[in-house]
Chain A
Amino acid sequence: MTENKRQVEKLPTGIPGFDHICNGGLPKGRTTLVTGTAGTAKTVLACQFLVEGIRQGEAGVFVTFEESVEDIRRNMLSFGWDIAQMEAEGRWLFVDAARQTDESVVIGSYDLTALIARIQYAVSKIGAQRVSLDSLGAILTRYTDMGILRREMFRIAHTLKIIGVTTIMTAERVEEYGPIARYGVEEFVADNVIILRNVLEEEKRRRTIEILKFRGTSHRKGEFPFTIIPGQGIVAIPLSAIQLRQRSSDLRITSGSPELDRMCGGGFFRDSVLLVSGATGTGKTLMATGFMAGGAMNGERCLLFAFEESRDQLFRNAIGWGYDFEEMERQGLLKVHCEYPEVAGLEDHYVEMKRIIEEFRPNRVAIDSLSALERISTNKGFREFVIALTSFIKHQEVAGLFTSTTPTLLGGTSITEAHISTITDSIILLRYVEVYGEMRRGLTVLKMRGSMHDKEIREFTIDKRGMHIGKPFRDISGILSGNFTRLVPDELSRLSNLFKDEESS
C-alpha cells in the first residue's frame, strides 16, 4: 500500500520486520525517540539503525552519552557488526560524549552548542544520513537544570532536522507501563516515539516494540514481539502487519492416505494449512509422517519440525508404518528438524523456523506438535506466534500440517485449536472412542474450506502400512465431547430422518 506522496517520507531502516510495523520505515529527516527500561535493547536498536543504513550505503553518526566507545565496539561485535571496520571505511563516526573522569563543576548558565557543533561536524565529515544518540538519560543526570536541557534537546533535534538527517534518540523509562521517559521531557523533543519493553509475564520474558506516535504519518498499532539474535540483532515479528493476500489454489495434493483424500473430497489443497487435533496416542505423528511421505513420493520437498520426539524415534516410527525417512532424506526430498521447545524462546523459534523454510524451500511443512510450543510462552505470545507462522507459511504457498495435542483423552479442545482454528483451512479431529470397553480411534474432517468433505466420524486403525480409515461409527453419539451414548437402531433412523435436510446443506 503506497502512502500519499505528499505525506511524510519514510526511511526504510532495514531492521527485519521493523519497517512493516512502521508502515515503511522511520519518518525521514525527523527525530524518533526510543524509550525503554534497562535491558530493553535500546543501544542495540540505535546501533542497528546505523549498521543497516551503512549496508544500504548511508553513513551514520553515533553519539554516545553513556557507554564508552570501546564498549560499544566490543559489545556490537557479537551481532557481527564490525564497527571499527566501518569507522576505518569512513561510514561510521562516533561523537564521544560519554562522561569523563575529570572533575567538572557547573557555574552559571550554559548551553550545548559545542555538542551540536560536534554532531554537525561529524555529519558533514562523512556525509551521514543517519544519527543515533544514546542515551539522553545519561546527559540528563549529568546536568541538573531541566530547563536548560529541555531547551538544548529541542535545539539538537531542530539542528538535526535542518541538516536533514534521520535520527534515533534513546531514553530510559522506569516502569514498563508508566511515564514514557524518566525525566518527562524527552518525549516532547521528538516527533515520534517508540517504546521497547521487556516484560515478565507468567515467568517468561517477552520483548515487544510499540510505536506510540508517528507525527503526521501512519504506523501499526499495538505491541509487536521481537527477539535479539546473535549475528543478526533485532528481529521484529510483525504479526497483524502480515496481510492475508496469498493466492489460493484449487490444486489438490495427497494427504498420504488415499482414504483420507477421499474423505477430504480429493485431497488437501496445495496451499492450505491443516490442523490435526487429538489426544496423545491418537495418531497425530502418524498423520504428519504420512503427509511427509505422501509428498516425497510425488517428488515434493517436505520439511518436518518435530518438537516432541527425537530424530531416531521419528525415523523408527516411520519405518514401523512402512515409510523410509532416511531414503527420502538421501534424495533431498525430506528435511527433519528436531528441537526441544525449551531450548529457545518462541520468537527465536519463529525466526529459526522461518529461516529454515526460506532455506529449504519446501512444498510441504509439518509441525509435530504445535501445542508443544505452548509450554514456553504466554497465551498471548503463543497466539501471535501461531498467527505469524501460519501467515508466513501461507505466503510461501506451501501446504502446512500442524498437529495439536488435546489435554484430555476424551473430547476436549486445546489452546492451539482455540487460537488457530479460524485461520486454518481444514481441521481433522482424532478421537478415542470407547466401544464395549475397548478403545478405538475415530477420525473426522471437521472443516474443509472450499470443498465438500465426508462428515462422518470414521473408525481408523494403524498397522505396519500406516493408517486405514474404515466405516463410520454409526451407533455411537457424543464422540467429540467424549460423552458417549450408544444409540439403538430405531432411534438412529429417526434421527437421520430428522436431520436429513440440514445434512445436505
Chain B
Amino acid sequence: MSAYILSLYVAGATPKSELIIARVRALCAQAFGSDFQLNVIDVIQQPDVAEEQRILATPTLVREHPAPRRYIIGDLSHVEKVVQALEMPTSLSSNNNQGSTLTTEEEQPYDGE
C-alpha cells in the first residue's frame, strides 16, 4: 500500500477538472515521489460515491491515508496552504518556485477562511 492515499472529487470531464487533476498529481509527485495513490472521482458519473462519502463541494481533495482524514475544498490555488493542510513533507514548501509553476497564470490567493 502507498504511504499516501488521496481522493479527488471533480465535477464532470471539463478542462477545469483536467487542470485540477494535473495540479494535484504534480503536487503529489513532487512531495511523495511515486509513493502515493490518487483516486479521481467524477461526482456526475458517480453520485453514489459522493453520497457515501458525504461530499458537498467540488473540487474536494481528501487525504484518506494517513489518518486523520483531511478535506481540502477548492481549486487549490494557494500551494503553501495545500502543503500545510495535507502535512506534506516540508521540502516542498521551501521550494516556492516549484510551487508557483503548478498554479495557473490567473492565480489569485484565496484569503477567506
Binding site for B on A (CB under 8 A): 95-97, 100, 102-115, 117-118, 120-122, 139, 143-145
Q: Which residues of B contact A139 (CB under 8 A)?
A: 56
Interface SS of chain B: loop
Q: Which residue of B lies closest to A144 (CB)?
A: B112
B71 at the interface (CB under 8 A from A): yes
- Interface segment among B32-40, B78-86, B89-97: the answer is B78-86
Which of B47, B54, B70, B77 is within 8 Å of A121, CB to CB?
B47
A117 and B44 form a contact (CB under 8 A)? yes
B81 and A105 form a contact (CB under 8 A)? yes
> What mask results when residues 35 to 76 of chain B are scored 1 for a CB within 8 Å of chain A, else 0?
000000001100110110011111110000000111111111
State the Cβ distance, A113 to closest chain B Cβ, in Å: 4
B11 and A115 form a contact (CB under 8 A)? no
Count the B residues whose beta carbon is within 8 Å of the partner chain — how many? Answer: 33
B47 and A106 form a contact (CB under 8 A)? no
Q: List 21 A-B contacts (CB under 8 A).
A: A97-B54, A103-B70, A106-B73, A106-B74, A106-B110, A107-B73, A107-B75, A107-B76, A107-B81, A107-B85, A109-B77, A110-B73, A111-B11, A113-B43, A114-B43, A114-B57, A117-B11, A117-B43, A118-B43, A122-B51, A144-B112
B70 and A104 form a contact (CB under 8 A)? yes
Interface SS of chain A: mixed
In the complex the two chains form, what is the Cα distance from A108 to B51 in whole Å?
Answer: 23
State the Cβ distance, B69 to closest chain A Cβ, in Å: 5
B105 at the interface (CB under 8 A from A): no
In the complex the two chains form, what is the Cα distance from A139 to B60 in whole Å?
Answer: 16
Q: Which residue of A lies closest to B110 (CB)?
A: A108
Counting chain B CB atoms within 10 Å of each CB, the highest count among A102, A107, A111, A117 belongs to: A107
B58 and A113 form a contact (CB under 8 A)? yes
> What mask results when residues 17 to 43 of chain B are scored 1 for a CB within 8 Å of chain A, else 0?
000000000000000000000000001
Q: A107-B76, A117-B44 are in contact. List 9 more A-B contacts (CB 8 A).
A: A97-B56, A104-B72, A105-B70, A105-B71, A107-B81, A107-B110, A110-B75, A111-B11, A121-B48
Q: Which residues of A contact B68 (CB under 8 A)?
A: 102-103
Q: Which residue of B lies closest to A139 (CB)?
A: B56
Q: Which residues of A contact B69 (CB under 8 A)?
A: 102-103
Q: Which residue of B lies closest to A142 (CB)?
A: B56
A121 and B51 form a contact (CB under 8 A)? yes
